[in-house]
Structure 1
């Protein structure tokens, strides 16, 4: 939810606009209220698009298709004027969560919730197809979970069943990973294509992962063409059979939407009604209730609000005659960039983040007021959190940067450039003042016990142990040329280990070689809790830190980001599945889809990691049960990249985000205690020491930040 921008209208037709819900290439979706105070969603086509025949025709099709469809599980059209300048469409506002948001934030739905979801979506498709329309873009983002049940939205590319193709032959239109094979090929699509999309959507709801994987759109389309769907995580025979039937390569062999309803059978007479939210897991139902209450109360005009007299679309401008949309409005007073939450896609008219903005806007217009109600769970904070304080800044690198801390000393691994030459360099900084205690030319560093730091020096030909505070060299080990440490150093009790094709352990007391293992660490090396963890493209191996003997091997397809704690080892595979492995014997305890491993933290019985689209997850480390989740930021251009990195310190989880901000979260419930913002922050793991938290900035500097007074 964002405030209106300069260039946005105050009104469209008889409807007053309150703020932006989102935007796409074709237009902008606004939150508005009707004359009776009912919250509604208004989609306005961009003036630059409205004049183009193909966009005008597409919007007219959307209006016509949406008007033809009337069903319990679709979003009704309330008003529209496709001939206005610019054209606009009004639909009922659906406060709640999209299916993608719900699964990404709260985890996959249990089978007893997927069944009613399938029934609601199948009935919606049956209504759509009865009207002679094909939706062509059913996906988790176009399914809303509301207080009135699931709803199918966004008819932006819907077409009549007998329509000819609107794109060039062979050019697909839709969402990769959810398009039927015939749709991917750019062929004419019918209702069976929507049933295929239904199957893919149900698979996502049940597993938390897209059935045709992640990666480039071309890869997902290729898997869809060959119907190589990953349904291994679906153990219920009825559900796997239903989804498999919907995903059949031959459109003629897929069930119809009515056929899906027949396969599901009659609803449970004793179960909760689908025309509500009690059929969903309690955490999702509570979040829907909270957002519904916000939408119903916070869009009402405040007492004493003047009558609607703002200029409407198409009227003469009041100022800035060169603006592309007439009747412009500046952002509401009292709303700053930090208090406005990120909007959602133009086609998804949700109430996510609505409460904070509308509460603050109403409070400012009334001249005060109480705080909004706190929602249970882990959504965005109510009101702006306090700001952290900058203590000191020290530039230590011309390029990349990595941080570690021990014994009041901050270790910053960076790069110094001299023309085309680059040299790895390690700075040891006083954590309290930022003073440079010493520095060494090297590549990697690892902090050990007893105030000792281990370094690679002389282009990896030497490994040295130095005192962390003074830089005094305690011993140096000459590395054989064929064993140069091309990866990390890791300290594990009485040994420090290095290697790639094989692993060597040095005695921390004198630097002598203790053991060598043939285990491969080509994908990563780490150590903790008496284990050395060697990661290769084929497996994760746990080695005894004292002897180098392999305790166990766990097969893992191109794993990364292993971390150990609470008697567990956590690692992700290339498909984005987190594997929780028992450290004692390498047995799988649990796993979860769509969880990032890099930058995660474990401690106090909890595992903290990034979920889908940058959601911060707190999971019970020994069971995988979700304790809370919170959305802080997203990567809009590439949602599958890592958006967050963590550091656990006592009861605080420090999160550095792609938006350049540092967030201090309460580990109990994910509440934001305070934030610190800088446009130059980069996503390296923050470090905490001496009551401060340290972050890396894009200019190669280290910043020390303290909590607010």
Structure 2
């Protein structure tokens, strides 16, 4: 991702070329040394550095991390932990994360998992030899290079956990990979990393963690009290992984034992460690191919901003010279967002704009197809499952995203409406209506009640009397927020009990978000923030026109669009305006606006559409990076996937725009009868003529 206005251009002796990502510790950049070595430069955020305890621990941990010299670790090559800003530079690993590789290319076979286990055990041995404990080993912290995996971020999570900024009782780590002793607030040492290693290998072999998904508290409960689910793992592999996942850390194998167990096969290492060759031939072929390609695409100059050839953006960029460009693969996986449309899919090449580079036909292949029962329809999707409802038959079915197989099917409980009002009996009815999925819970309404099921297995959890409103609660922390037009109420996601309620002075939209300890919604021109701790209004912001979109929060800022075509950025904590940018165009008339969609914030850029216009703005400054008028009167939906902006227009076309320049790569006509089309990540789900089909799209 290109650098933004707020990013440094140099840290220490390293020239920064691009932003790789960000997290709780700060931002990560791709840098080059004076001699041309590519490094990942991690710059710690200022809020952490203001905590003296963190600063002292960070200095100690960086010093220890520099002693780690394992083949399968991303070595620390330079650092200034006492500087302002504080930073460290590690070996840059041009390859996908294990999380991304499994999501895109599927689960790994037994030999590959055993090879991965041997390499990761060797990495942990090197970390432990330096008197460090990783404490946050997970699929996203394992990068896959052509010559084998690299474990990253060792020693850093320990520093982040030992700070006054950490709330009392908070556990550092990722649910499902945190060992039970750490959840019990007991001492966690190298055996905790062995637990995480077992969970990582189970993920590689099955595509899901051994303790399932869903709400953090539910996953953590399973880690402490329930046995892992190792269904699908080969017996010999499952036996070793189960030992790694033992509740008692004293019963887990040591790293040296694992090396002896898994190191019997040849593993890859660049210098011959483990008896291997020059490449990781045990890794799945598609993963090696991606890693090899990414190694050849590491930029040597700053990645240009959208619509420009330099790192400085232009409000009105000139059309680029038509040519075929190599796309640099971004390491961080894009957030999967859903778009719903009407029509059937016919993929063909269409002529681009005059300034469009030559485009190859989209690479789409059918993943799976299955018939639907009478009355069944697709309602909501997640990155793991699709949920079908059969309203009148009172049935809900969950399908696997990977192959369309049935994960579970259940005839669910419905509300007794025999003694209710005519409105409930004749209008609401006792059918089932899925309203959403959040926090590992699947919500559906029937009659006077809202019901919650476990999204992973369909087990019924609770019911709540909601007077037939049937909201779609959003789980944040230990609370589920259910929003109505004039009020919202907050439920305990474990029991469905109402915790508290808040009423507005006037009507608001159904659109809302919860971020930074506040629930935000809008009414007419007002953006309203209600503090979720004090249960009082925190602030109200008055826009210059009617608010048209749901508020979208990212990095402490709330973005929203208004009827007159403007895009706003407001500080989520104070309600102060950070910037506003007018949505202009040759034929734009703000008086006729009103088709705006929710902004998308990806990699420091805000993508926004209103009627037939699509624009990209710098998230920090509001500067226009590019704007494109589509060949249509209205844009119906927009989403961003892997550097591509997918735009569905009112004429029935799906357009693919380059996220950095707005240049159109291809335009495909969507036609057919009554068809439901959804894009989730780079997968297209088509519901037509009683059949549900999944296609994979290359972006």
Taking structure 1 as the reference length, what is the TM-score of the superposition? 0.47
TM-score under structure 2 normalisation? Answer: 0.48
